[in-house]
Amino acid sequence: MDALFTSTESLLAIMAITVALGFYLQRFKGLKMFGPALIVIIISIILANTRIVPFSAEVYGVVATYAVPLSIALMLLSVDIKAMLKLSKKPIFAMLIAATSVAFVTFIAGLIFAPMIDEGWKIAGMFVGTYTGGSSNLTAIGYGLNASPTTFAAANAADYVIGIPTLILMFAFPAIAAKSKWFQKVWPYSLQANALEGGAEESEDGFLEEKKWSIQHIAWSFGIAFVIVALSTSLAGLFPDSFQSAAKILFVTTIAVAVAQLGPVKKLKGNMDLGLFVALFFLTIIGYMVNIQDFLSSTLVIALFCFVVIVLTLLLHAIVCRIFKIDYQYVIISIVASIADGATSALVAASAGWKSLVSIAVVIGVIGSVLGNYLGIGTAYLIKALIGA
């Protein structure tokens, strides 16, 4: 049975409407905690599996080729290294522990699971990326490693099947920790109430909040991002074909972070929002590629791999943070920023009433996004070399 819509124009229209719907549904409290990325993927999976759109189309490849590096460049234009350096050492340390834990656990688990899975070493790198900086890193690393559409779909599906229950637990944990005498006895390190209540309310320039935007900001942001992608593509061409895609992502990451430190670039508003907007077009394609029948019959091992990575990462992160006597509030926002992203971590902080940690959560999320591409690609190639893939 052919899909209802197959023309390039109709598919682009459906993608755009799906992305818009993902943003629109953020106004509902019950859906906001899942973020626009998950909502867009779920809608797209439904559209594909009800044969409204096809599982594959030529336009999907075109969108993927340009959307991924462009979205990374846009989002990283919001990185402010000076602001990061002003943070307390504890949340940054907690985030570095989270990133290191993810890379270490995935490396060890990858040596076991990767040989059992087609393109398993690529999936390992994608898991490191997504559990260090969020879905955008999974996308970037999969693109950089030339992962097949099937691998993309399977990794994303396993990520959401295992990751979403974990995320729900993270939203519930602050209330559990506050009431549990056992937890307070095991983990006596906590910020005082007055320290948590401080901090400014969310500014109008907050991520995904309504903001005053100028068309000049949008034009300059896209212009700079396209230049970064073009320059990175040229530099990546100096490497062997097998490494060009990975090199391109690493160059985009490095150049974008460097350019973001320039005064005029810092004044541009909404780079994270624009980057997510572009990335969501690619995530619609990921959803379209998920054939539920194929997924149920072929991704059990990938889901188990994902489960092992998340559970052991949470345990290792908690143990190391406890050894270093880090306040549990920093531990929670760092692991959420790692498993999900800074925006979700900020939501956890806000829902727990930790006003002073909202902005910190966003910043450490950005740190995770920057680290994720390097750690993910590095871990993937290390596993590949050791298993002889």
Residue among 360, 370, 365, 319 nearest 343 (CA): 365
pLDDT over 90 percentage in the chain: 35
Q: Read off the pLDDT of residues 165-182 as tens digits, 9 standing for 90 and up.
A: 787 788 778 878 888 889
Which DSSP category does 200 fall into?
P
What's the chain's average pLDDT?
A: 85
**Global pTM exceeds 0.95:** no
Position 379 scores a pLDDT of 94
pLDDT category of residue 201 using cuts at 50, 70 and 90: very low
Q: Read off the pLDDT of residues 240-260 as tens digits, 9 standing for 90 and up.
A: 876 787 788 888 888 998 999
pLDDT category of residue 13 using cuts at 50, 70 and 90: very high
Position 156 scores a pLDDT of 80
pLDDT category of residue 202 using cuts at 50, 70 and 90: very low
Residue 28, judged by CB atoms within 10 A of its CB (0-12, 13-18, 19+), counts as exposed
For the chain, the structural domain boundaries read 8-195+213-387
Position 388 scores a pLDDT of 82
Q: Count Cβ neighbours within 10 Å for each residue of 306-317 and write b for 16 or more, e otherwise.
A: bbbbbebbbebb
**Residue 143: both structure tokens together:** 């693109």
| 167 contacts: CB under 8 Å, gap ≥ 6 | 33, 34, 336, 339, 340, 344
3-state secondary structure of 291: coil
**Residue 136: both structure tokens together:** 């955008």
**Residue 265: both structure tokens together:** 């670039």
pLDDT category of residue 337 using cuts at 50, 70 and 90: confident
Which DSSP category does 204 fall into?
T
Q: In this model, does residue 356 exceed pLDDT 80? A: no
Position 233 scores a pLDDT of 93
CA 220/CA 231 separation, integer angstroms: 16
Quote the Cα angle for 347-350-353, to 5°: 150
CA 355/CA 274 separation, integer angstroms: 25
**Residue 90: both structure tokens together:** 């504890």
Position 223 scores a pLDDT of 96
AA letter at 338: S
Q: What is the 3-state secondary structure (H, E, C) of 298-317?
A: HCHHHHHHHHHHHHHHHHHH
Q: Read off the pLDDT of residues 35-66 as tens digits, 9 standing for 90 and up.
A: 787 788 889 989 999 999 998 898 988 888 88
Q: In this model, does residue 275 exceed pLDDT 50? A: yes
Quote the Cα angle for 69-74-80, to 5°: 125
> Do 343 and 208 meet the contact criterion of CB atoms below 8 Å apart?
yes
Residue 295 vs residue 126, higher pLDDT: 126
| 230 contacts: CB under 8 Å, gap ≥ 6 | none
Q: In this model, does residue 206 exceed pLDDT 70? A: no
Mean pLDDT of 195-206: 53
